[in-house]
Amino acid sequence: MLEHLKDQPADKILMLMQAYREDPRADKIDLGVGVYKDPTGLTPVMRAVKAAEQRIWESQDSKAYTGLAGDPAYADAMVGLVLGDAVARDRVSAVATPGGTGAIRQALELIRMAAPEATVWLSAPTWPNHPSIIKYLGMKMAEYRYFDEATRGVDFGGMMSDLAGLKSGDVVLLHGCCHNPTGANLTGDQWDEVIAHLKAKGAVPLIDIAYQGFGDGLAADAAATRAVAGAVDECLIAASCSKNFGIYRERTGILMAIGDAARGKTTQGTLNFLNRQNYSFPPDHGARIVSTILNDAALRADWEAELEEVRNTMLGLRTQLADELRRLSNSDRFDFIAHHRGMFSRIGTTAEKVEKMRADSGIYMVSDSRMNIAGLNSETVPILARAIIDAGV
C-alpha cells in the first residue's frame, strides 16, 4: 500500500523553518514562520497563560471528555472576544477546533456539505495553506486581486473588479485583520463596500481571523469581522488563539457559523458531527486557558496589557525599519512597512533577491518576500535594512 504514496508538495513556510534550523551561522535572522518573538528571540509564555495554567492545574479534578463542540464557556468567551455584541448569540453556532487551521478545515468541509458547487474565492496572495486545503478537499477555487505590487497596499480596484464575478452562494475568504502574507489591509470604507457587494451578490463571507490584537488593538482588529457578521445573513468565522494568547502548540481555535437562529440546532449539530468525524472531541487545554483568562477580570487585564506590549513592540520595529530604509534609500518607497499591520509585511521583491539576502546575510524570509516583523529586534533592523538595499530591492 505505502508504495503508492507520492511525495507531497512541500509547504514553503515549513521548509524555511527547517532550512533556518540547519544554517550554522550564529548571526542568522529568522523572519520566516509567523511566531512572535521578544527582543531576545524568545517566544514567551504570556503571564496570564502561566497563571491560568496554574489555576487549572490546582482546580481541575477530571480530564474526562468535554462535549463535541468543546467547553461551552470557551465558545461563549470567544464569541464575545471576536464578535462583541455585533450578532445575537442565538444566531451563532460554534465548535472548538485544533487551532485556526482546524477551524478553516472544518469551515471548508461545512461548505462542501452545504454547497458542493460553491467556488471559494481567495485573495491573491493568501496564506498558502488556504489553497492547499481547498485543493485537497477537491473544491472549486478562484482568486481575487488583492496586493498592489507597486504601492504594496491593497489593489482595491482590482479586488472589486474580480469580485464582480461572484455567483450567488459563492464563498469569499477574507482576512479579518493583519492580512497574511502582505500586511496590507482594507480601510473601514473599503470593508463597507465589500459588505454591500457580498450582500448584493448573495455570497457568503468566510473570515479568517488569526491575529486579533496584533494590528491596531483587540477591538479595532475585530471591527471588520463584526461589521461583516452584523450585516450579512450568513457568515463563517475561523478564529485562532495561537498568536494572541501565544499558545501555538496547544492548538486552540474556533469555528463560528452565523445564520438564522431557527436553523441553529441543525447548524450546531453539523459542526458537532464534523468534529466527531475528524477527531471526535477538540483539544481542551488551550481552550480552558483562554476561557479562564477571558472570564477573570484580573487575568484578562494582564493579558490585554501584555498583548499591547507585543503589538507596540512590532509597531516600533516597523517604524524603525521604515526610518532606516528611508535613510539608506534616500526615498520614501519603504514607508509602506510602517503602514502595514500585523506580524507580516510583504516587501514585494523577487525570490532571487530573497535568496540573495539569505545567502549573503543569513536573513530568512519566505520566498514571496513575506517577512515576520516580530523576528527582528532593534539591533537586527539596521542589518536587515542594509541587506534589503544591497540586494537591490
Nearest residue relative to ligand LMR (C-beta): 34
Rounded least distance, CB 246 to ligand LMR, Å: 13
Residue 200: which residues within 8 A CB-CB, separation 6 or more?
none
Strand partners, 207: 174, 237
Query: Closest distance between ligand LMR and the C-beta of residue 180, in Å?
Result: 5
Give the residues across from 303 on adjacent strands: none
Catalytic residue from among 208, 221, 284, 368: 208
Q: Is the peptide bond before 44 cis (omega within 30 degrees of 0)?
A: no
User: Which residue number, 34 or 246, has a Cβ lying nearer to ligand LMR?
Assistant: 34
The minimum distance between CB 126 and ligand LMR, in angstroms, equals: 10
CB of 210 to ligand LMR, least distance (A): 6
Cβ–Cβ under 8 Å, residues 35 and 249: no
Minimum CB distance to ligand LMR, residue 119 (Å): 24
Between 34 and 70, CB nearer to ligand LMR: 34
What is the gyration radius of the CA atoms in the chain, in angstroms?
21
Near ligand LMR in 94-153, by CB under 6 A: 127
Nearer to ligand LMR, 130 or 288 (CB): 130
Is position 221 annotated as part of the catalytic site?
no
Binding residues for ligand LMR restricted to 3-32, rule: CB under 6 A: 13
User: Which of these is catalytic: 96, 121, 148, 243?
Assistant: 243
> Which one is catalytic: 121, 127, 191, 303?
127
- E-assigned strands of 75-196? 92-97, 119-124, 140-145, 171-175
| Whether 50 contacts 384, CB under 8 Å | no
- Cβ-based nearer residue to ligand LMR, 91 or 370: 370
292 scored as a contact of ligand LMR (CB under 6 A): no
- The rounded distance, in Å, linking the Cα atoms of 243 and 248 is 6
Q: How far is the CB of 272 from ligand LMR (least distance, A)?
A: 26
Nearer of residues 124 and 389 to ligand LMR, judged by Cβ: 124
CB closer to ligand LMR, 127 vs 214: 127
Binding mask 168-187 for ligand LMR (x = CB under 6 A): ------------x-------
CB of 276 to ligand LMR, least distance (A): 25
Residue 188 grid coordinates: 473601514
Considering 210, 238, 239, 387, which one is annotated as catalytic? 210
| Burial class for 369, CB neighbours closer than 10 Å (0-12, 13-18, 19+) | buried
User: Quick check: is 94 catalytic?
Assistant: no
Query: How far apart (Å, rounded) are the C-alpha atoms in residues 319 and 325?
Result: 10
∠ CA 181-187-193, nearest 5°, is: 110
Binder of ligand LMR out of 20, 34, 268, 388 (CB under 6 A): 34
Closest to 344 in 3D by CA, of 36, 130, 132, 27: 36
Total of chain residues touching ligand LMR, rule CB under 6 A: 5
Closer to ligand LMR by CB, 86 or 239: give it.
239
Please indicate whether residue 301 is annotated as part of the active site: no
Distance from C-alpha of 95 to C-alpha of 257, rounded to nearest angstrom = 9
Q: How many Cα atoms sit within 13 Å of 71 on the Cβ side?
A: 18
Those residues with Cβ within 8 angstroms of residue 122's Cβ, 6 or more apart along the chain or in another chain = 130, 131, 134, 141, 142, 143, 144, 173
Q: How far is the CB of 127 from ligand LMR (least distance, A)?
A: 5
Q: Which three cell numbers stand for residue 18?
A: 527547517
Closer CB to ligand LMR, 34 or 98, in the complex: 34
Q: What angle do CA 264, 74, 36 make, to 5 degrees?
A: 120
Does 208 qualify as catalytic in the annotation?
Answer: yes
Question: Residues in the site for ligand LMR, rule: CB under 6 A?
Answer: 13, 33-34, 127, 180
- Active-site positions read 127, 208, 210, 243
